[in-house]
């Protein structure tokens, strides 16, 4: 079935450290994997996405890697800052039905 597992559920790091969040998906036909950031009381906002023809994508301090064989993808945040504190969601696009399935979310806390 359609399923996205996300780990860890909470993550606490010191300012300046790196943070890594991992997701696995169930459908080998998935070909699009976005990541969303949600600050407290706000809407989810897209921060980076990757398509299946690419193994890695970077945007300043944020990078995403994709391993299609293992069906997992990861978000990497380097040089974390307090404003990175938020809940992060991964998602996988399932062609059958044309919909995104989201992971359960990771609450990231960056301590000054």
Partner 1 sequence: NAGVTQTPKFQVLKTGQSMTLQCAQDMNHNSMYWYRQDPGMGLRLIYYSASEGTTDKGEVPNGYNVSRLNKREFSLRLESAAPSQTSVYFCASSPGPWDNQPQHFGDGTRLSIL
Q: Name the site residues for partner 1 (rule: CB under 8 A).
A: 2, 6, 9, 31-32, 34, 42-46, 49, 51, 89, 91, 93, 95, 97-105
Shortest Cβ 112–partner 1 spacing (Å): 26
Residue 30 or 85: the one with the smaller Cβ distance to partner 1 is 30
Contact 87, 38 (CB under 8 A): yes
Residue 64 or 101: the one with the smaller Cβ distance to partner 1 is 101
| Complete DSSP assignment for 35-93 | EEEE-TTS--EEEEEEETT-SEEEETTEEEEEETTTTEEEEEE-S--GGG-EEEEEEEE
Shortest Cβ 22–partner 1 spacing (Å): 15
Tokens of 95: 């062609």
Shortest Cβ 34–partner 1 spacing (Å): 6
Which residue do the tokens 């996988």 mark? 92
Residue 6 or 85: the one with the smaller Cβ distance to partner 1 is 6
């Amino acid at each position: 079935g359609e399923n996205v597992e996300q780990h860890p559920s909470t993550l606490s790091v010191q300012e300046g450290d790196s943070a890594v969040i991992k997701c696995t998906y169930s459908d080998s036909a998935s070909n699009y994997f976005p990541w969303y950031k949600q600050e407290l009381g706000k809407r989810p906002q897209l921060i980076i996405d990757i398509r299946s023809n690419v193994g890695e994508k970077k945007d300043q301090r944020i990078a995403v890697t994709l391993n299609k064989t293992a069906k997992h993808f990861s978000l990497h945040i380097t040089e974390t800052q307090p404003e990175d504190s938020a809940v992060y969601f991964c998602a996988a696009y399932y062609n059958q039905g044309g919909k995104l399935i989201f992971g359960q979310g990771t609450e990231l806390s960056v301590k000054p």
